[in-house]
């Protein structure tokens, strides 16, 4: 019964006769009538028991073509029989010298620990007996002799090989094979050396061939790093490398090295011309894109000139506030008749100042590239000079603290008041905005002590909240040396009161341990009423 994976065949199933040979099908009923065989055609043909489909017409030639084997490896038993027949044929040499040679060969092989094959007494037509190969002096101790039967021809050959132990691995570098017909084949790393393919007729010629083979060097190939060519291999050889040579590198490998070195400048020239073509194409594409961009900018300018300012504001209503402000400022700069006649918005000026303080290099780069309509540095300097800057409590900072603590719990408004002094250089200057002389002692109107002296220190008060990640300076004062403890106490009390009015609660005062700060602590304790002890 035939078996298929896609369906199950039964006795009533039908198959195509094209896939079966003639003897596998039964087409007639056979009957014997009056001693004669009568054939009657069957309506439905029948398969012979054990028939299998063997014919598959229409398949590609590469699939239907039968495989051909060039050489079939014989079983060990047959190889032994072939070797025995060859030794029997060579046994016709019954001379005394041949018998003595075979006896000496067995003794020598036994001494070397080699098991002699059955064809040890074979001789060639030139008169060199394989048994005499044992008497050939070896070039060195690394050379050994083995008599091995060829699996294809069945002939016994003498094999001289040079084996060495390198890094714990046994390697056979050179082999000299002497056949029955006297021909010798020299191999190096499984590659035949054609120049040493000779015919020997005596043991002296074999000895000369062994010495010549031992004197030759193995071609080391060429190093890829010295040729300027990148690759995964360290050393490469020519396709027709002779392997054995009198020099460290054979002539073909040297020729390959010169060719690879000459190939590098050619490849560099080709790469250079290819890069030039690519750069030229990029230049053309960039020029075309630039012209296209100029045309688009011209069209956009024309459309913007036609559009009304209110329509633009309506179109920009979906953008974030800062982006809308930047776009409107850019449109405003386009309508300015002169570069110096631009009037900036106060909010835009404040954002520009923040950007300038955060990163001066970024501000300069954006201004030079004209990515945003930023005011010049001289304009910012002039605006900063016009801002009022004086010593005392800063009401803007206090209002910012009040706004930050709006609608927050009392526990989240707690903080510390930190005060410290820094050294200043004594100098005075005329303030063009206030028309007063700057550089003298100034306590911001809290006290007028020592206001006619030049200041050399600055006292800074800073509020540090406990549950926030920001700090805020609230006041700065110009002093002569370290401020006295009495004045420090008055300034601290004034700061605590003002912070309390602006939704901030001071629970501690932080300062260094100088004498004036200790005096300030004594003054504050004297002004604070001590709680009464319970009964």
∠ CA 238-244-249 to the nearest 5 degrees? 55
Asked if residue 373 lies in contact with residue 363, where contact means CB atoms within 8 angstroms, the answer is: no
Confidence of residue 528 (pLDDT cuts 50, 70, 90): low
Residues 407 and 517: their CA atoms lie apart, in Å, by: 35
- Identify which has the larger pLDDT, 308 or 525: 525
Please check whether residue 175 is in contact with residue 159, taking contact to mean a CB–CB distance below 8 angstroms: yes
Q: What is the pLDDT of residues 176-207, one digit of tens each?
A: 888 878 888 888 876 766 656 678 888 888 88
pLDDT at 103: 32
- Helix 485-501 with 515-527: angle, nearest 10 deg: 60
Give the Cα separation of 243 and 260 in Å (integer): 19
Q: What digits encode the pLDDT tens for the residues 377-429?
A: 888 888 887 777 788 899 989 999 999 998 899 999 999 999 999 998 888 88
Residue 474, CB half-sphere, CA atoms under 13 Å: how many?
Answer: 27
Question: Residues 444-487: pLDDT tens digits?
Answer: 877 777 678 888 999 999 999 999 999 999 999 999 888 888 88
The SS3 call for residue 151 is coil
DSSP string of 343-372, one letter each residue: ---HHHHHHHHHHHHH-HHHHHHHHHHTSS
What are the pLDDT digits (tens) for 303-357? 777 766 667 777 788 888 888 889 888 888 887 777 777 888 889 999 999 999 9
- In this prediction the pTM is 0.38
* DSSP per-residue codes, 57-91: TT--HHHHSPP--S--PPPHHHHHHHHHHHHHHHT
- pLDDT per position as a tens digit, 129-176: 777 788 888 888 888 888 888 888 778 888 888 888 878 788 888 888
Which among 3-17, 42-56, 493-507 has the top mean pLDDT? 493-507
């Amino acid at each position: 019964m035939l078996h298929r994976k896609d369906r199950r065949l039964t006795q009533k199933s039908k198959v195509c006769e094209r896939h079966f040979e003639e003897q596998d099908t039964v087409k007639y009923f056979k009957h014997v009538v009056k001693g004669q065989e009568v054939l009657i055609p069957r309506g439905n043909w029948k398969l012979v028991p054990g028939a299998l489909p063997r014919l598959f017409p229409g398949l590609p030639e590469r699939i239907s073509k039968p495989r051909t084997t060039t050489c079939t490896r014989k079983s060990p038993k047959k190889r032994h029989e072939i070797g025995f027949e060859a030794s029997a044929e060579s046994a016709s040499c019954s001379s005394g010298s041949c018998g003595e040679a075979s006896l000496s060969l067995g003794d020598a092989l036994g001494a070397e620990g080699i098991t002699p094959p059955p064809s040890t007494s074979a001789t060639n037509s030139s008169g060199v007996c394989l048994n005499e190969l044992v008497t050939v002096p070896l070039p060195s101790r690394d050379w050994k002799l083995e008599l091995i039967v060829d699996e294809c021809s069945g002939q016994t050959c003498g094999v001289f090989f040079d084996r060495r132990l390198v890094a714990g691995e046994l390697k056979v570098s050179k082999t000299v094979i002497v056949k029955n017909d006297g021909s010798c084949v020299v191999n190096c790393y499984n590659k035949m050396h054609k120049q040493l393919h000779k015919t020997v007729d005596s043991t002296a010629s074999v000895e000369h061939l062994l010495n010549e083979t031992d004197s030759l060097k193995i071609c080391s190939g060429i190093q890829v790093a010295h040729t300027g060519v990148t690759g995964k291999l360290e050393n490469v050889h020519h396709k027709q490398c002779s392997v054995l040579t009198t020099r460290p590198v054979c002539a073909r490998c040297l020729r390959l090295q010169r060719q690879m070195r000459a190939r590098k400048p050619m490849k560099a020239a080709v790469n250079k011309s290819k890069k030039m073509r690519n750069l030229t194409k990029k230049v053309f594409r960039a020029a075309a894109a630039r012209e296209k961009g100029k045309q688009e900018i011209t069209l956009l300018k024309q459309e913007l000139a036609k559009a009304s300012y209110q329509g633009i504001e309506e179109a920009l209503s979906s953008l974030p506030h800062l982006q809308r402000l930047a776009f409107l400022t850019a449109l405003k700069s386009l309508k300015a008749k002169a570069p110096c006649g631009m009037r900036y918005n106060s909010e835009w000026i404040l954002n520009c100042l923040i950007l300038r303080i955060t990163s001066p290099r970024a501000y300069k780069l954006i201004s030079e590239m004209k990515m945003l309509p930023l005011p010049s540095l001289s304009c910012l300097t002039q605006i900063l000079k016009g801002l009022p800057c004086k010593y005392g409590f800063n009401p803007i900072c206090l209002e910012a603290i009040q706004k930050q603590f709006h609608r927050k719990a009392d526990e989240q408004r707690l903080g510390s008041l930190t005060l410290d002094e820094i050294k200043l250089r004594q100098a005075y200057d005329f303030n063009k905005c206030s028309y007063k002389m700057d550089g003298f002692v100034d306590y911001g109107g809290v006290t007028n002590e020592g206001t006619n002296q030049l200041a050399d220190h600055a006292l800074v008060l800073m509020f540090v909240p406990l549950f926030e990640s920001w700090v805020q300076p609230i006041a700065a004062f110009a002093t002569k040396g370290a401020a006295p403890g009495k004045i420090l106490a008055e300034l601290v009390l004034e700061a605590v009161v003002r912070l309390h009015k602006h939704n901030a609660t001071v629970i501690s005062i932080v300062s260094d341990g100088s004498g004036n700060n200790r005096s300030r602590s004594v003054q504050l304790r004297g002004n604070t009423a001590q709680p009464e002890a319970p009964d």
